[in-house]
Amino acid sequence: MVDLTGECALMAVSKIGRTGGMHMITRAGSGRLVRALTRRLAAGLAAMLVAIAVLAGGAHQAHAVLEVDVTRGVVQPLPVALVDFSGVQPDEVKVGQDIVQVITADLRNSGLFAPIDPAAFIERAIDFEGQPQFANWKVINAQALVNGRITRQPDGRLQVEFRLWDVTAGQHMTGSKYFTAPANWRRVAHIIADAIYERLTGESGYFDTRVVFVEESGPKDKRVKRLAIMDQDGANLRYLSSGRDLVLTPRFSPTSQEITYMSYATGTPQVYLFNIETGQTELVGAFQGMTFAPRFSPDGQRIIMSLQQDGNANIYAMDLRNGRTMRLTNTPAIDTSPSYAPDGRRIVFTSDRSGVEQIYVMGADGSNPQRISFGEGKYSTPVWSPRGDYIAFTKQAGGRFAIGVMRPDGSGERILTEGYHNEGPTWAPNGRVLMFFRDVPGAGGGSQLWSVDITGYNERRLQTPAWASDPAWSPLIK
Amino acid sequence: MLGLSNGARVARIAIAIALALTVAACSQNRNGPGAGATNVVPGSAQEFVVNVGDRVFFTTDSSQLTDVSKATLQRQAQWLLQYPRYTFTMEGHADERGTREYNIALGARRAAVTRDYLISLGIPANRMRTVSYGKERPVAVCDNASCWNQNRRAVTVLDNATN
């Protein structure tokens, strides 16, 4: 894996283990600071943050939510100044510039931050050991300020340090130090961007993540489809399959470097497991017939999918440890696109048992299926948010395809984007952003990847070299 | 994958597309066998495609066989009984106006309904397999109903066809 270690340099950032754990940031006590900051910013900058509120109450401390109310008009992103990380040697200076470029793009693309053009900076460099001259940053309206330092170690690794400052209060907010092989500088940049995002919004970040998707090439009636993976910002794209076999619907394991997907490799479409690190592929289960629509359980131990039996599709779960399968639905209908709740106790899925596709929720053992979608039109591809609070879906009505969210009981339906054809939402690991694909119609058309905030703001296209569909967002990289 | 050489498959597709385009012009008759070529070899895959009709079409979201489709399948059954050397694959397809996974299941349902009808007409089940391509293999690629109508289909593909 990646040689990436960090240590607690100032506050609030814990060690990043080489083997284990998440990129954990100690949250104890920070919720209060964030709320205080947000309140202060809101008070000082009523216009800036008018639509941003933070849930109050100790019970919500671990989920302090940047609540953006779409009914209240345009959200103003927070102005932030990012100074090129300093270095002594030319290679250190270069990496310092590159890292800040990646952090800047991450923060800007989130829609919540407005990085200030460095041309406006009064100070060009900040002594890393000292304090910034806050007045110089106040005057260009920076609310937050980021600086850092690159130091090449005797063993060749880079030491990357950063600091985040609250300009108005004139206070240090967070900072950290990381050691990494030079080749991993982009990951360090994403990790720092996540730390900044987390500190300023109270939510976990999503920049140190990847997207697996299907790249499409060739004419529309003879499409060649390849599995591909890239960083969430489009960098480091590589292919995981050759294009010989038709492949569809890749999804990440929440716990390992594996994806599950569907392939026509044998002629019968079936679900496979693919290990990203070893390149090994493995058939999932020994089912008679077509299997499709796979997804992992939140603990990564099971795959849930559809098995086609004559004209019906039913949902099965397979335990990857012992190969045991369990049938979860048994109707003369199409039951497909299953997705677990983050606690693993419920499953949301698509069924046409009522006549057309609608969304249902059942227990993880198949018990008590309840229809939750009742709006006009057809609902499909439900995906449970990693936070548990929403289910994203594709809705077809009036010949148009929309991406929306609703609460797990079916209430609070909101359409985030709508058009000729939008399909297949996937959640960023923090549950704040959705990625999906959108079709450009016509004989020469194809699919492109887009993302949108769950408030419906900040719709953006993710650039890919060719047509692209079926995106699936990774968890935060371990 | 389908037991056809690439050349044969391309030729078959080309014929099928030509047929589909011709037939699409007469709106209510697209399940018909077309003009009916006379100079094809009896018992050949070409005869099956051109004179018998290798595909049936479905309305939106439906997997019910229309009377026209049933007539096509009756001709198919007659031909397949006459030429028992052929095994075949029943391909189910959906149009692009649906979501990927649901359409895979919908294509499978269309293939199953079509297969079952052929079985009811006396074709042994062990001569055929089914596969669904969902919306992955359209034959017509425009963005309106004239194309979608051609893509919602079940196609009887002869496995060991040599023309």
Indicate if A394 and A440 belong to the same structural domain. yes
Q: Residue B134 — pLDDT band, cuts 50, 70, 90?
A: very high
Indicate if A185 and A154 belong to the same structural domain. yes
A-chain residues near B97 (CB < 8 A)? 396, 399, 421
Q: Do A337 and B131 touch (CB under 8 A)?
A: no
- What residues contact B7, with CB distance under 8 A and at least 6 apart? none
Indicate if A106 and A195 belong to the same structural domain. yes
Q: Is the pLDDT of residue A164 over 60?
A: yes
Q: Do B141 and A219 touch (CB under 8 A)?
A: yes
Q: Do B132 and A308 touch (CB under 8 A)?
A: yes
B-chain residues near A352 (CB < 8 A)? 102
A-chain residues near B105 (CB < 8 A)? 292, 306, 308, 313, 334, 336
Closest residue in chain B to residue A312, using alpha carbons only: B109
The answer as to whether B1 is a domain residue is no
Query: What tokens appear for A39 in the block?
Result: 């309140």
**Which of A128-142, A407-421, A437-451, B29-43 is predicted with the least confidence, judged by mean pLDDT?**
B29-43
The answer as to whether B163 is a domain residue is no
Picking from A266, A336, A396, the nearest residue to B101 by CB comes out as A336
Q: Is the pLDDT of residue A52 over 50?
A: no
Q: Which helix (H) or strand (E) holds A190?
A: helix A185-201
Q: What is the pLDDT of residues A104-120, one digit of tens each?
A: 999 999 999 999 999 99
Indicate if A363 and A223 belong to the same structural domain. yes
Q: What is the pLDDT of residues A171-214, one digit of tens each?
A: 999 999 999 999 999 999 999 999 999 999 999 999 999 999 99
Percent of chain A with pLDDT over 70: 84
Interface probe, candidates A261, A264, A334, A337, chain B, greatest B C-beta count within 10 A: A334
Q: Is the pLDDT of residue A27 over 70?
A: no
Residue keyed to tokens 């992992």: A296
If contacts are CB pairs under 8 Å, which of residues 262-291 in chain A contact chain B? 262, 264, 266-269, 290
Picking from A221, A334, A420, the nearest residue to B105 by CB comes out as A334
From the list A280, A279, A277, the residue with the least C-alpha distance to A1 is A277
Indicate if A197 and A217 belong to the same structural domain. no
Measured CA to CA, the distance from residue A316 to residue A125 in angstroms comes to 59
Indicate if A73 and A214 belong to the same structural domain. no
Q: Does A311 touch chain B (CB under 8 A)?
A: yes
3-state DSSP assignment of residue A302: strand
**Residue B74: predicted pLDDT:** 98
B22 or A344, which is more confident: A344
**Residue A124: predicted pLDDT:** 84
Where in the sequence is the domain holding A12, given as residue range(s)? 4-201
Indicate if A353 and A381 belong to the same structural domain. yes
Q: Do B99 and A310 touch (CB under 8 A)?
A: no
Interface probe, candidates B100, B132, B141, chain A, greatest A C-beta count within 10 A: B100
CATH number at residue A330: 2.120.10.30
Residue A443 neighbours by CB distance under 10 Å = 13
Number of CB pairs < 8 Å for A and B? 101
The answer as to whether B55 is a domain residue is yes
Average pLDDT, chain B: 83
Indicate if A89 and A217 belong to the same structural domain. no
**Residue B40: predicted pLDDT:** 87
Gap from A388 CA to chain B (nearest CA, Å) = 23
B-chain residues near A394 (CB < 8 A)? 99
A-chain residues near B99 (CB < 8 A)? 337, 350, 357, 380-381, 394, 396, 423-424
The answer as to whether A140 is a domain residue is yes
Q: Do A269 and B101 touch (CB under 8 A)?
A: no
Q: Residue A476 — pLDDT band, cuts 50, 70, 90?
A: confident
Q: Do A334 and B102 touch (CB under 8 A)?
A: yes
Measured CA to CA, the distance from residue B56 to residue A153 in angstroms comes to 70
Measured CA to CA, the distance from residue A163 to residue A169 in angstroms comes to 15
Residue keyed to tokens 């050691």: A179
The answer as to whether A301 is a domain residue is yes
Gap from A292 CA to chain B (nearest CA, Å) = 7
Contact predicate A81/A121, CB 8 Å: yes
Q: Do B98 and A249 touch (CB under 8 A)?
A: no
The answer as to whether A338 is a domain residue is yes
The answer as to whether A320 is a domain residue is yes
Q: In this structure, which amino acid lies at residue A202?
A: G
Where in the sequence is the domain holding B49, given as residue range(s)? 6-158
B-chain residues near A268 (CB < 8 A)? 131
Q: Is the pLDDT of residue A246 over 60?
A: yes
A377 or A52, which is more confident: A377
Q: Do B101 and A441 touch (CB under 8 A)?
A: no
Indicate if A307 and A179 belong to the same structural domain. no
Measured CA to CA, the distance from residue A160 to residue A149 in angstroms comes to 6
The answer as to whether A478 is a domain residue is no
**Residue A266: predicted pLDDT:** 94
Gap from B36 CA to chain A (nearest CA, Å) = 25
**Residue B160: predicted pLDDT:** 74
The answer as to whether A314 is a domain residue is yes
Cα of first residue to Cα of last residue in chain A, in angstroms, is 9
CATH number at residue A194: 3.40.50.10070
The answer as to whether B17 is a domain residue is yes
Q: DSSP labels for chain B? A: --S--HHHHHHHHHHHHHHHHHHHHSGGGTTS-TT--SSSPTTSHHHIIIIIISEEE--TT--PPPHHHHHHHHHHHHHHHH-TT--EEEEEE--SSS-HHHHHHHHHHHHHHHHHHHHHTT--GGGEEEEEEETS--S--SSSHHHHHHHSEEEEEETT---
**Which of the listed residues A148, A180, A201 is the one where a domain comes to its end?**
A201
Q: Is the pLDDT of residue B38 over 60?
A: yes
Indicate if A194 and A264 belong to the same structural domain. no
Q: Do A334 and B99 touch (CB under 8 A)?
A: no
Measured CA to CA, the distance from residue B86 to residue B78 in angstroms comes to 13
Q: DSSP labels for A104-148? A: HHHHHHTTSEEEPPGGG-S-S---TTS---HHHHHTTT-SEEEEE
Could you give the maximum distance between any two Cα atoms of chain A, in Å?
72
CATH number at residue B126: 3.30.1330.60
Q: What is the pLDDT of residues A131-158, one digit of tens each?
A: 999 999 999 999 999 999 999 999 999 9
Domains contained in chain B, number:
1
Query: What tokens appear for A324 in the block?
Result: 């045991």
The answer as to whether B129 is a domain residue is yes
Residue B38 neighbours by CB distance under 10 Å = 7
**Which of the listed residues A167, A201, A235 is the one where a domain comes to its end?**
A201
Q: Do B102 and A442 touch (CB under 8 A)?
A: no
Mean pLDDT of A41-64: 32
Measured CA to CA, the distance from residue A335 to residue A382 in angstroms comes to 12
Q: Is the pLDDT of residue A318 over 80?
A: yes
Measured CA to CA, the distance from residue A298 to residue A348 in angstroms comes to 13
Q: Is the pLDDT of residue B4 over 70?
A: no
Interface probe, candidates A221, A248, A316, A420, chain B, greatest B C-beta count within 10 A: A221
**Residue B36: predicted pLDDT:** 55
**Which of A254-263, A294-303, B25-34 is predicted with the least confidence, judged by mean pLDDT?**
B25-34
Mean pLDDT of A285-294: 93
Mean pLDDT of A240-259: 95
From the list A231, A274, A9, the residue with the least C-alpha distance to A109 is A231
B-chain residues near A392 (CB < 8 A)? none
The answer as to whether B58 is a domain residue is yes
Contact predicate A80/A146, CB 8 Å: yes
CA torsion, points B29, B34, B35, B40, in degrees to nearest 10? -170
Indicate if A330 and A274 belong to the same structural domain. yes
Gap from A106 CA to chain B (nearest CA, Å) = 30
Q: Is the pLDDT of residue B20 over 60?
A: no
Residue A91 neighbours by CB distance under 10 Å = 13
Mean pLDDT of A50-61: 31
Q: What is the pLDDT of residues B51-66, one digit of tens each?
A: 999 999 999 999 999 9
Q: Do A310 and B112 touch (CB under 8 A)?
A: yes
A-chain residues near B109 (CB < 8 A)? 311-312, 334
**Which of the listed residues A201, A233, A259 is the one where a domain comes to its end?**
A201
Q: Does A356 touch chain B (CB under 8 A)?
A: yes
The answer as to whether B99 is a domain residue is yes
The answer as to whether A179 is a domain residue is yes
Contact predicate A266/A278, CB 8 Å: no
Picking from B99, B105, B132, the nearest residue to A394 by CB comes out as B99
User: What are φ and ψ of residue A56, in 5° steps?
Assistant: -95, 170
Domains contained in chain A, number:
2
**Residue B161: predicted pLDDT:** 67
Q: Is the pLDDT of residue A371 over 60?
A: yes
Picking from B1, B113, B136, the nearest residue to A223 by CB comes out as B136
Query: What tokens appear for A195 in the block?
Result: 């730390």
Integer Rg of chain B from CA: 14
Buried-exposed string A391-414: b where 16+ CB fall within 10 A, e elsewhere: bbbbbbeeeebbbbbbebebeebe
Indicate if A361 and A325 belong to the same structural domain. yes
Interface probe, candidates B102, B133, B141, chain A, greatest A C-beta count within 10 A: B102
Angle between helices A90-109 and A185-201 (to 10 degrees): 40
Q: Is the pLDDT of residue A13 over 70?
A: no
Q: Is the pLDDT of residue B153 over 60?
A: yes
